[in-house]
Amino acid sequence: MSVDPMTYEAQFFGFTPQTCMLRIYIASQDYLFEGMQAVEQVILKKLGDLPGCEISPVQVRKCAEKFLGFMKGRFHNLFGKMEQLFLQLILCIPPNILLPEDKPQELHPCSEEEFRLLQEEIEQLQEK
């Protein structure tokens, strides 16, 4: 997962893009696990219907777990690529875009020194 806080995007969307991606990742993984359980149950049912089948449920479980491990690895790699694309192309606000609440800052820019002086003036006024 990404470590860039993307605070401006969080301010715009009302959620952090990384949190969104994490939720999608977890939901997708849950579907993968549920799908694997369903596949395992179908295989066990079909094997139970076959006469003289020597494959035990334990063997099916071991193979399903092995396949699930393989799928998780592939899924993790693909999701990492998808996350990069989403965070760069979809859930990213270009640097030339300003939110409405930041428009005054564009119209009336001030340096750090001016900002510090304004804060001191505010503190003095609050004391009075």
Task: Tell me how far apart the alpha carbons of residues 93 and 60 are, in angstroms, rounded to a whole number.
Answer: 48
Residue 118 belongs to some domain of the structure: yes
pLDDT tens-digit series, residues 16-68 = 899 999 999 999 999 999 999 999 999 999 988 888 888 888 999 999 999 99
Q: Are residues 68 and 125 in the same domain?
A: no
Residue 2 in any domain: the answer is no
Q: Are residues 41 and 86 in the same domain?
A: yes
64-104 confidence digits (pLDDT tens) = 999 999 999 999 999 999 999 998 899 888 888 888 877 77
Tell me which residue range forms the domain holding 104. Answer: 98-128
Answer whether residue 4 shows pLDDT above 80. no
Residue 48 sits in the same domain as residue 79: yes
Same domain, 79 and 120: no
| Same domain as 92, residue 103 | no
In a domain, 75, yes or no: yes
- Let me know if residue 62 belongs to a domain: yes
Tell me: do 71 and 115 sit in the same domain: no
Q: pLDDT band at 2, cuts 50/70/90?
A: very low
